[in-house]
Structure 1
Amino acid sequence: MKLTEKAWGIFEQCIADYHQTDSVNAKIQNPYDSSSFEHLLYRKNWIDTVQWHLEDIIREPKINPEEALRIKRWIDQSNQERTDTVEYIDSWFLNRYKNVSLLPNAKINTESPAWAMDRFSILALKIYHMKEEAERDDASAEHQAKSAEKLHVLYEQKQDLSTAIEELLADLASGYKKMKVYKQMKMYNDEELNPVLYKKK
């Protein structure tokens, strides 16, 4: 089985698990061994799924300002957890390809495999929710048709992205491309780097 096929299956499983309760307060029940690659993929998609729904909630026009601030803080924390998990996934890929002999003209890709998987995870959410819109009983025929058209494009994007990821992995395995990962070094959560925070000290 291709890695993208395995990842997609895990993403779909995670999204379905979340929607058993459809609550941002639900606790993750990761079914995979904590040391496994599958565990990281499930964790990554759970973070994305919860954040997807937080982004919906915070756009409620009449939301209480205090509640909006609480959710904004939650989203900030989620973004940090998402980044951390992507970097764990890249560490897995780095270990996987550490013994590959690079070709003399080995190239660097514009994004790492894990950040490509990040987009793949979010695409799974887009497809799930666009499919919901295309099948909504209480929506107009026009709304359903427009959603179905967008869903078709998303499926095409899934095919293209999975192909691109598999090609990248093949290039890394053959030494045609090399892995080089930079930490995101996000500054806004760091009390030593965010001037609003360190000036308060």
Structure 2
Amino acid sequence: MFSKFAYSIFEQSIKDYHVHDNVDQPVNNPYPKDKIEHLLYFKNWIDTVQWHFEDIIRDPNIDPVAALVLKRRIDASNQERTDMVEYIDSYFLQKYHNVKVKDNAKINSESPAWTIDRLSILALKIYHMSEEANRAEASQEHRDKCQAKLNVLLEQKSDLSTAIDDLITDIENGDKFMKVYKQMKMYNDDDLNPVLYQNKK
């Protein structure tokens, strides 16, 4: 099943990142660039780095100038994340472009890649919640609360994985069809963000 395949790559990416646990470390993607594994690994690496960006920027003692620099990095990371989702959807579009879509086929509310994006984020939640549930220096109450949350996340992983695999099967069988809508983010665009284009005058 694709969800299990993708999740194993997400776990590998998260594990590799935490060897050094440094947002500035270069990505060392072990997969060939022409393989879906490469896209999945890189997608999760972006998510993992951004997870830690979000931790850092919430430091109440962070220098305001450093926080602004980091906010710019988070913005760039968000754009990169969106781009990777679109690349993954392009993979599915190419893979299933010869499928005969049934007359009564329906479109899903999310494309395959956006459901996989959710699975990537969920892998990070599970990894870090597991850390908290097993943190030796934390109180037993803290560990118990985190274990309860972890149990919910694991149930969510099971449900989301089923939904992803069902969606892909439906696309394969022509019962559903997919479209890819570019995100068309406006705040990063010099021609669409009023603050940016007014400063160009």
Aligned counterparts of 1:171 and 1:121: Cα–Cα separation in 2: 21
Unmatched segments (≥5 aa) in structure 2: none
Q: Write the deviation string for residues 108-155 of structure 1: whole angstroms up to 9, x where unpaired.
A: 000000000000000000000000000001100000000000000000
SS in 2 for 1:199: helix
Partner residue of 2:13?
14
Aligned counterparts of 1:15 and 1:49: Cα–Cα separation in 2: 7
The size of the alignment, in residue pairs, is 200
SS in 1 for 2:20: coil
Over 2 Å off, 4+ runs: none
SS in 2 for 1:150: helix
SS in 1 for 2:65: helix
SS in 1 for 2:19: coil
Aligned counterparts of 1:117 and 1:98: Cα–Cα separation in 2: 19
Give how far 1:71 is off. 0.5
Partner residue of 2:175?
176
Identity %: 64
Give how far 1:180 is off. 1.0
User: Which runs of structure 2 are paired with 1:10-49 in the superposition (5 Å)?
Assistant: 10-49=9-48
User: Which runs of structure 2 are paired with 1:56-71 in the superposition (5 Å)?
Assistant: 56-71=55-70
Aligned counterparts of 1:155 and 1:200: Cα–Cα separation in 2: 48
TM-score by length of 1: 0.99
Q: Please tell me the root mean square deviation across aligned C-alpha atoms, in Å.
A: 0.4
Aligned counterparts of 2:180 and 2:12: Cα–Cα separation in 1: 29
Q: Write the deviation string for residues 6-64 of structure 1: whole angstroms up to 9, x where unpaired.
A: 10110000000000000001100000001110000000000000000000000000100
Q: Write the deviation string for residues 142-172 of structure 1: whole angstroms up to 9, x where unpaired.
A: 0000000000000000000000000000100
Unmatched segments (≥5 aa) in structure 1: none
